[in-house]
Amino acid sequence: MENKEIIQELDQIAPLLNTVSKAPVQTIPAGYFDHFQVQMNPDTRNIQKEETPVVQMNQSRKWYTIAAAVVIFGVLVIGGFNLINQPVVSSNPSLVINMEQIAKMDINESVQALSNDAIDEYLKNANALAGPENSLHHYTVDAISDKTVAEISDEELQLYLSE
């Protein structure tokens, strides 16, 4: 009864398995090992075995390997401790960028507080880094006029700023 249930289940799950023969695939003839004989060459029967010398491995080389591993491990551990124990604030707190302070900062006030010399120096450096083809002097003021930044007079700038 169990075999019929197994066969039915195999037919449902994997029908190809029931088509495979259940007979053993590899067989040997009957009495094969009873008549098995090893043929030895008569010259090899009298050979005496030579003792193979035991060679000691170099123990000092093993110690060098272990010492090198310990040194590397020590360097990694010390580096990890130094990385973990770094101070949160650098030695000069004014150089630390605090994102909360930047978010609360009024950009207009900060720009107004800059001196004209600082702005000029920044623009000179920015133009030098950008190259002549990307200079601020090549950009037009607006889409209507073809006047570039370099062509605007100081009076026009003062008039614009007073508006």
**The model's pTM:** 0.24
pLDDT in tens, 22-36: 777 788 878 877 776
Neighbours of 46 (CB within 10 A): 6
**CA-to-CA distance for 144 and 141, rounded, in angstroms?**
8
Share of the chain above pLDDT 70, in %: 70
pLDDT in tens, 89-115: 555 666 666 777 778 888 888 888 888
For 127, residues 6+ apart whose C-beta sits below 8 A from its C-beta are: 135, 136, 137
pLDDT in tens, 115-137: 888 888 887 777 666 666 665 55
What b/e sequence results for 2-40 when a residue is b if at least 16 CB atoms lie within 10 Å of its CB, and e otherwise? eeeeeeeeeeeeeeeeeeeeeeeeeeeeeeeeeeeeeee
Q: What residues form DSSP beta bridges with 148?
A: 140
